[in-house]
A and B are shown apart, each in its own frame.
Chain A
């Protein structure tokens, strides 16, 4: 039975007391080192064939009879007011079905309290008009034919310009500051920490605005059948989308079905109904035809969010032996015209090291851009770059090995929660990574110099949540031919969720992988599952799947008991071994799984399972260590990352094959963040200069270093019944600092501004040479 429980919930670095729905799992935990048949084995994706044949249907691929195409006209100013709109020429074009805008608002004109077509346009790309047409070309012709007269308004394009004296209003009549006093975390006594320090380092950092660049852009396809609406939505949360669509349209939730079968990347940017979803739904209802709206690549850069840039300052104090006495970090971020509090940039500083005196603060302000969104380990990527670079600087000043400094300040219990961990494998991660990398004998292993190139080594640590938690459910149908359908209300955003949940079900049911069909990404057949954010999907959903499978087996065992003339036996005395149901007290009594199932005729067993509660008074975290080797060309400032060794502690690894892929992905994305990626805005016009995949430089195959991926792979049995934690976000967190630290090791130059591009690095190298 579900109950309501007040509990501590951690999500993306924020810990709060929350009331959550909790059910019990009724299942024993998979022990550490337990012998597993399917779980823990490298397993190719169950939907691999669909992915390699082009048959996988993404939202972008949904094509329905009579389907119309919707497109937005968007503001070409960073801040403006609409003086007039004339859509008459566009409306007259053959094939144009409907056009809505400020002067001709749609039947539903608000989303989350905001006007969809506001008179004031507070960022480049703000919605000006929406066209529905028979095809994309016609829609584009119509957009070109709409005449808009704008009154340009003064703008502020980043934190500095928005918080300067006499800064213009980002939004008329609204304070540019989101929280003037900042989002503060503090423990201990900062004055005492400073007084205790023998050595202090203080550095300023900046990190770039980073774009998610999901290869499938944001979009929705909406179809009405009577008062039932089906929404195909490229989303990280089918249930989040269902409730937001129902709210936006003012209709009951049971009328809304959300489907996201295959999904082309989200990285934190794809959640509930957005303006394009609402307008697709309104247009589909008004026209009686399905309507599809996919953003263009340019729109994706303009309005689909980003990791905010940051200006940071870090001060560390330590005893001569390296013991930290003080950690201080402050950050300033702009989160857009309609943005909220910035991400938890202080998270790693608060929680990574044992240190009595810690203060972190994040100040957030508005700016004339679209709003910032979660982006793979929001805050922790920015914060870890600064913190772990500063730790490297501290090690240098102390004359200590950077790894030894980390070990010296290793936290045996959670510093921020002051509670023990369910399991912490960071020490193991350091050891494994250092050994694989050859950290101890790195100087003798490879030459320091090759022509103009200088080689260096650096490392950094990672902490993140990823423990998941309730509520999450799973539904299992055990069919008469001995196969099973498993429905879970999560979605596979490319991480392999469908595959790992199939593995968990196969393990628990004692069935081969091929006998399981797992359905995710559809709100209709599935019970509730969480959105894929905060690295919670596996740790939340897998225990629910186990629990549902166990319940289904109990029901089958009850049938088997009758068939074996053991009607009074305890169902928990039966197990599945090699396709047979076995009565463990008397193993002679057994029958094939399929025979017991066949007894059902065409009936089926239906079982529900729930994710049980997390342990009280325990911190659940993921950890990792990255070691990087770089070459720096001291004549050109070019940085070439040669090798990254990435070791992660995520509890039990369910699928080493897909887990390794996720780490490759995190390291690669971090490589872009560290060396090439930046969303740039022209200070004079307030317009984006990088709204495409040529000028916004994501890594390509030619850029990729050797990446060695290893796992601590110890089940976190206290965390949940599967013993696994999340991996989506951890591997992007420490890489940038490891690379920057390696650049310092190679050249003696500490780059504190990302990305480390030649135009930044070369002047620093020249300056350092002049000072020698």
Chain B
């Protein structure tokens, strides 16, 4: 039976992160971002604002991007959480990561994990986005350095790379 109310003290949670079940003991008020970073040492996702205004904390839950800073960890049980750390296969980069390097789709890089996750999710839903679709899908990820033109190029390049991998 599921308890409707848990807390306010620490409660045990099982989270599925990057394909692995991990057990944590945290207060129900903890955000997914703080649990990923502080409990699991997955520091790729960043807190730029803590209010869902910048997108630096973007992760993928099930098949949708979410702001990890606005998501409670306790709400993520039984769901599939993917972070930037889970994108690589050993040393093999995801095509989106390769494309960001090739196109210089960043400057300081602080927003990059969030940008990459948004791009990955976009391409999973729409493998051949137009430039307008990229602009729309990624508008929730702020880059104060202003790398936007190269981020757009990165996403379009990644789409082509994914396509050619399929053909190959």
Interface residues of A (CB under 8 A from B): 44-45, 48-58, 60-61, 63, 135-137, 212-217, 262-265, 267, 296-297, 493-496, 657-658, 660-662, 664-669, 692-694, 698-702, 704, 707
Taking CB atoms, residues of chain A closer than 8 Å to B151 are: 701
Q: In chain B, what residue has the closest Cβ to A670?
A: B146
CB pair A60–B47 under 8 Å, yes or no, is: yes
B-chain residues with CB within 8 Å of residue A57 when the two chains form the complex: 43
- The residue that B148 contacts in the complex, of A51, A297, A664, with Cβ under 8 A, is A664
Asked if B107 contacts A662 (CB within 8 A), the reply is yes
| B125 proximal to A (CB < 8 A) | no
Contacts of A63 in B (CB 8 A): 37-38, 41, 43
Partner of A664, one of B112, B144, B146: B146
Decide if B56 touches A135 in the complex (CB within 8 Å): no
> Given that A662-B107, A669-B146, A707-B149 are contacting pairs, would A51 and B135 also be in contact in the complex, using a CB cutoff of 8 Å?
no
Contact partner of B46 among A44, A216, A267, CB < 8 A? A216
**Is A494 a contact partner of B108 (Cβ separation < 8 A)?**
yes
Closest beta carbon of chain A to B12's beta carbon, Å: 18
Instruction: Closest A residue to B26 by CB, please name it.
Output: A137
Most buried by A among B54, B106, B146: B146
Q: Are A52 and B101 in contact (CB under 8 A)?
A: yes
- CA of A509 to CA of B109, assembled, Å: 29
List, in ascending order, chain A residues with CB within 8 A of B48's CB. 215-217, 297, 693
Q: Is the CB of B135 within 8 A of A701?
A: yes
Q: Mark B90-109, 1 if CB is under 8 A from A, else 0.
A: 00010001001110101111
Q: Is the CB of B110 within 8 A of A658?
A: no
Contact at A265–B145, with CB atoms within 8 Å? yes
Tell me whether B51 is interfacial, beta carbon within 8 Å: yes
With contact pairs A215-B111, A702-B135 given, residues A49 and B44 touching in the complex (Cβ less than 8 Å):
no
Per the bound structure, the CA–CA distance linking A699 and B135 in Å amounts to: 12
B135 in contact with A52 (CB, 8 Å):
no
B104–A657 CB distance below 8 A: yes
Is B112 in contact with A52, judged by CB distance below 8 angstroms?
yes
Known: A63-B43, A262-B108. 8 other contacts (CB 8 A): A137-B30, A664-B149, A667-B146, A693-B54, A694-B53, A701-B134, A701-B135, A704-B135
Can you list 30 A-B contacts with CB-CB less than 8 angstroms, sorted by A residue number? A44-B101, A49-B97, A52-B101, A52-B109, A53-B87, A53-B88, A58-B110, A60-B46, A61-B43, A214-B144, A217-B48, A262-B108, A264-B46, A264-B108, A265-B107, A297-B49, A297-B53, A494-B107, A494-B108, A495-B107, A496-B107, A660-B150, A664-B146, A665-B147, A693-B142, A694-B51, A698-B144, A700-B139, A702-B136, A704-B152
B40 to chain A, nearest CB (A): 11
Given A54-B44, A54-B83, A63-B43, A215:B101 Cβ within 8 A: no
B29 contacts A by Cβ under 8 Å = yes
Taken together as a complex, chains A and B put the C-alpha atoms of A55 and B113 apart, in Å, by 10
Q: Is B84 an interface residue (CB 8 A)?
A: yes
Minimum-distance CB pairs A-B, first 8: A54-B44, A668-B146, A494-B108, A264-B110, A48-B101, A665-B146, A51-B109, A54-B84
Q: Inside 8 A of A262's CB, which chain B residues have their CB?
A: 108-110
Q: Give Cα A702–Cα B135 distance, bound, in whole angstroms.
A: 5
A665 interface neighbour in B83, B107, B109, Cβ under 8 Å: B107
B13 within 8 A of A: no
Asked if B109 and A56 make an inter-chain contact with CB atoms under 8 angstroms apart, the answer reads yes
In the complex, which residues of chain A have a beta carbon less than 8 angstroms from the beta carbon of B88?
A: 53
B43 contacts A296, C-beta separation under 8 Å? no
> When chains A and B are docked, how far (Å) is the Cα of A136 from the Cα of B101?
34
CA of A666 to CA of B144 in the docked complex: distance in angstroms? 10
Which of A56, A63, A660, A701 has the most chain B CB atoms closer than 10 A to its own CB?
A: A701
Contacts of A212 in B (CB 8 A): 144
Say yes or no: is B65 at the interface (Cβ < 8 Å to chain A). Answer: no
Q: Is the pair A215, B142 in contact by a Cβ cutoff of 8 Å? A: yes
Contact B109 A704 (CB under 8 A): no
A727 smallest CB distance to B (angstroms): 12
Whether the Cβ atoms of A44 and B135 lie closer than 8 Å is: no
Q: A57-B43, A694-B51 are in contact. Are A661 and B147 (CB under 8 A)?
A: yes
Minimum Cβ distance to chain A for residue B28 (Å): 11
B49 touches A693 (CB 8 A): yes
Instruction: Write the chain B residue with the least CB distance to A296.
Output: B50
Contacts of A135 in B (CB 8 A): 38
Residue of B nearest to A262 (CB): B109
Which A residues lie within 8 Å of B51 (CB)? Answer: 297, 692-694
Task: Report Cα–Cα, A665/B38, bound state, in Å.
Answer: 32
Instruction: State in angstroms the CA–CA spacing of A44 and B104 once bound together.
Output: 6
Question: How far is the CB of B126 from the nearest CB of chain A, in Å?
Answer: 16
Query: When the two chains form their complex, are residues A698 and B142 in contact, meaning their CB atoms are under 8 A apart?
Result: yes
The answer to whether the Cβ of B66 comes within 8 Å of any Cβ in the partner chain is no
Q: CA A350 – CA B97 in complex, angstroms?
A: 46
Q: Would you call B34 and A136 a contact (CB within 8 A)? A: yes
Q: Which residues of B contact A53 (CB under 8 A)?
A: 44, 84-85, 87-88, 93, 97
Beta-carbon nearest neighbor of A492 in chain B: B108
Contact assessment for A137 and B145 in the assembled complex, using a CB-CB cutoff below 8 Å:
no
Interface string of B129-143 (1 = CB under 8 A from A): 000001110111111
A448 to chain B minimum Cβ distance, whole angstroms, is: 24
Contacts A57-B43, A215-B142 hold; do A692 and B49 have CB atoms under 8 A apart?
yes
* Cβ-based interface call for B156 (8 A): no
Q: Is the CB of B110 within 8 A of A54?
A: no
Measured between beta carbons, the chain A residues less than 8 angstroms from B97 are 49, 52-53
A704 touches B148 (CB 8 A): yes
Looking at the assembled complex, report how far the CB atom of B38 sits from the nearest CB atom of chain A, in whole angstroms. Answer: 7
B84 to chain A: which residues have CB within 8 Å?
A: 52-54
Name the residue of chain A whose CB is nearest to the CB of B111: A215
The residues of B that contact A265 with a CB separation of less than 8 Å are 107-108, 110, 144-145
CB pair B101 A45 closer than 8 Å: yes
List chain B residues, Cβ under 8 A from A213: 144
Among A56, A496, A658, find the residue whose CB has the most chain B CB atoms closer than 10 A: A56
CB-CB under 8 A from B110, the residues of chain A are 58, 215-216, 262, 264-265
Complex: how many Å from CA A137 to CA B151?
35
Q: B17 in the interface, Cβ–Cβ < 8 Å?
A: no
